[in-house]
């Protein structure tokens, strides 16, 4: 019988990946960048010129290989694609020892 374990909501944490929270944020940012590129009907070459990344680096990022790309660079990419970035810092509920880092798209 196969044992099923409920996800924590972060696949990187479930797989015990180092820096799981950072990886989750980067994956969300990369997915959004990919959505915008697709919605604007840009080729990877066109998008890489806008974003200041090489086409191979952009391709890797969109395929989930973003360890060499900072969150700041990914936010810059979103800005270059015409999106506002807003960082909100607030107190975590007392029920948690640590704060939560998440990406919210509106």
Kindly report, residue by residue over 48-66, the tens digit of the pLDDT.
999 999 999 999 999 999 8
Q: HSE of 36 in the Cβ direction (CA atoms, 13 Å)? A: 22
Among residues 34, 28, 36, the alpha carbon closest in space to that of 81 is found at: 36
Q: Are 34 and 77 contacting, i.e. CB atoms less than 8 angstroms apart? A: no
For the segment 74-85, the average pLDDT, to the nearest whole number, is: 96
Considering the entire predicted model, what is its pTM? 0.82
Which superfamily does CATH assign the domain made up of 17-106 to? lambda repressor-like DNA-binding domains (1.10.260.40)
Confidence tier at 7 by pLDDT (50, 70, 90): confident
Q: Which pLDDT score is estimated for 2?
A: 84
Q: What does the DSSP 8-state code read for residue 98?
A: S
For the segment 6-15, the average pLDDT, to the nearest whole number, is: 70
Supply the mean pLDDT for the chain. 89
């Amino acid at each position: 019988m196969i044992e099923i374990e409920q996800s924590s909501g972060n696949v990187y944490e479930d797989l015990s990946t180092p820096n799981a929270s950072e990886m989750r944020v980067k994956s969300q940012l990369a997915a959004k960048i990919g959505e915008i590129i697709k919605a604007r009907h840009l080729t990877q070459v066109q998008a890489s010129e806008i974003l200041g990344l090489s086409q191979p680096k952009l391709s890797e990022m969109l395929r989930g290989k973003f360890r060499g790309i900072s969150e700041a660079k990914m936010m810059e990419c979103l800005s270059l694609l015409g999106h506002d970035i807003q960082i909100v810092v607030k107190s975590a509920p007392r029920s948690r020892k640590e704060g939560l880092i998440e990406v919210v798209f509106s």
